[in-house]
Amino acid sequence: MKTCLIVDDSKVIRKVARHILETLNFAVAEAADGREALAQCHAHQPDVVLLDWNMPVMSGMEFLRALGDETLAKRPKVVFCTTENGMAHIRAAIEAGADEYVMKPFDRETLESKLQIVGVA
């Protein structure tokens, strides 16, 4: 079973994403900020991270850069999931190491499509 770590400070977004991912047969873990997510990646490395941009403690971009500095056996795929939709944001995320980008609000089909693009669905 594939694993996904949902990183978002919104409980509602985590709940919606969890529901979608579980219908796609993912085992799901959650983190409320980047620092918590980084600790979870060390403990149980996910196949994919669904990552919010704007969070307290450690933002999505800070998490992504920190993840890039880690020496993990296999780097998880990272799908940014955010309301930030400007080309500059998308370009910055991809340049920082994101594998794909999905806009909030998203539905099952959109998320499944992005997961297929990065090779985990």
Q: What are 13-27's pLDDT values in tens digits?
A: 999 999 999 999 999
Q: What is the pTM of this model?
A: 0.95
* pLDDT at residue 52, as a whole number: 96
DSSP 5-58: EEE-S-HHHHHHHHHHHHHTTEEEEEESSHHHHHHHHHHS--SEEEE-SS-SSS
Q: How confident is the model at residue 36 (pLDDT cuts 50, 70, 90)?
A: very high
Q: Using DSSP, state whether 82 is helix, strand or coil.
A: strand
Q: How confident is the model at residue 73 (pLDDT cuts 50, 70, 90)?
A: confident
* pLDDT at residue 71, as a whole number: 76
Element (H, E) at 100: strand 100-103
Q: How confident is the model at residue 84 (pLDDT cuts 50, 70, 90)?
A: confident
Once rounded to an integer, what is the mean pLDDT over residues 54-75? 90
